[in-house]
C-alpha cells in the first residue's frame, strides 16, 4: 500500500522558493498530472484503516485538500466542506490566518458548526502553520475533530501541531528534503 505515493514522491521535482525547498507533486500541486490510481491508493487506504461511521463532514483546505476531500466524499457518501481562501461573509464565517514556509493567506471557514464530527484532510503538513490555525478555529467553533489525515508529512510541522493542540495528526508518508531531493523517512 502507498507504494505509488512513495514512488511518485521520490521522482518528483523540487524547486526553490527563497530558501525553501518545495517538492512539486500531483497530490500537493495537481501538476504535472494526477493519476486516478494514485488518488485511489490514498483514499482506499483511508477507507480501509479508519472507521468513518461517526463522521458528519469531511473538511478539505483549499487548494489541494479539495481533490482529496472530493474523492473521499464520493467514495464514502459523506458530505464535504472546503475551507476557502475567499470570504463569503456568511453568518458565523470564521477567518483564519495561514502562514506556510513560503506564503501567507487568509482562510475562511463556513458551514462548520458546534458538535459537527469532522474528518479534516489536507495534502501536506510542513511547518504546521496551516493546520495549527485551522485546528484552533475549529476549537473556537466547538466542532469535534475526530480525524486529521494528511498523505504527506515534511519537516517538523506534525510534531509541532500535535504538541501545541493535543490532537493526533495522521500522515501516510513522511519525507525529508536531503540536498534538495525528496527522501522517504521510513518508520
Ligand X SMILES: O=P(O)(O)OC[C@H]1O[C@H](OP(=O)(O)OP(=O)(O)O)[C@H](O)[C@@H]1O
Ligand Y SMILES: Nc1nc2[nH]cnc2c(=O)[nH]1
How many of the other CB atoms lie within 10 Å of CB of 160?
Answer: 17
Binder to ligand X among 41, 42, 119, 127 (CB under 6 A)? 127
Residue 33 near residue 95, CB atoms below 8 Å = no
CB of 98 to ligand X, least distance (A): 6
Task: Confirm or reject binding of residue 109 to ligand X (CB under 6 A).
Answer: no
Number of residues assigned to the chain:
187
Q: Which is nearer to ligand X, 26 or 129 (CB)?
A: 129
Task: Confirm or reject binding of residue 125 to ligand X (CB under 6 A).
Answer: yes
Residue 72 near residue 80, CB atoms below 8 Å = yes
Instruction: Restricting to residues 106-145, name those near ligand Y by CB under 6 A.
Output: 124, 126
Residue 124 near residue 150, CB atoms below 8 Å = yes
Task: Confirm or reject binding of residue 101 to ligand Y (CB under 6 A).
Answer: yes
Peptide bond into 63 cis (omega under 30): yes
DSSP state of 84: B
Task: Confirm or reject binding of residue 111 to ligand X (CB under 6 A).
Answer: no
Binder to ligand Y among 4, 6, 8, 29 (CB under 6 A)? 29
Q: Which residues bind ligand X (CB under 6 A)?
A: 61-64, 100-101, 103, 105, 122-130, 157
Amino acid at each position: 500500500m502507498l507504494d505509488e505515493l512513495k514512488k511518485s514522491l521520490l521522482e518528483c521535482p523540487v524547486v526553490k522558493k527563497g530558501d525553501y525547498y518545495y517538492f512539486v507533486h500531483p497530490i500537493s500541486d495537481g501538476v504535472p498530472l494526477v493519476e486516478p490510481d494514485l488518488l485511489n491508493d490514498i483514499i482506499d487506504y483511508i477507507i480501509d484503516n479508519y472507521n468513518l461511521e461517526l463522521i458528519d463532514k469531511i473538511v478539505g483546505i483549499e487548494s489541494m485538500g479539495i481533490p482529496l476531500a472530493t474523492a473521499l466524499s464520493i467514495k464514502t457518501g459523506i458530505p464535504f466542506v472546503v475551507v476557502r481562501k475567499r470570504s463569503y461573509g456568511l453568518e458565523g464565517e470564521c477567518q483564519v490566518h495561514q502562514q506556510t514556509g513560503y506564503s501567507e493567506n487568509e482562510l475562511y471557514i463556513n458551514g462548520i458548526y458546534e458538535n459537527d464530527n469532522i474528518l479534516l484532510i489536507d495534502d501536506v503538513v510542513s511547518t504546521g502553520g496551516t493546520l495549527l490555525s485551522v485546528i484552533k478555529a475549529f476549537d473556537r467553533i466547538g466542532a469535534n475533530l475526530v480525524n486529521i489525515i494528511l498523505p504527506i508529512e515534511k519537516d517538523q510541522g506534525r510534531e509541532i501541531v500535535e504538541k501545541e493542540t493535543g490532537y493526533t495528526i495522521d500522515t501516510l508518508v513522511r519525507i525529508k528534503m536531503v540536498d534538495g531531493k525528496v527522501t522517504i523517512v521510513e518508520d
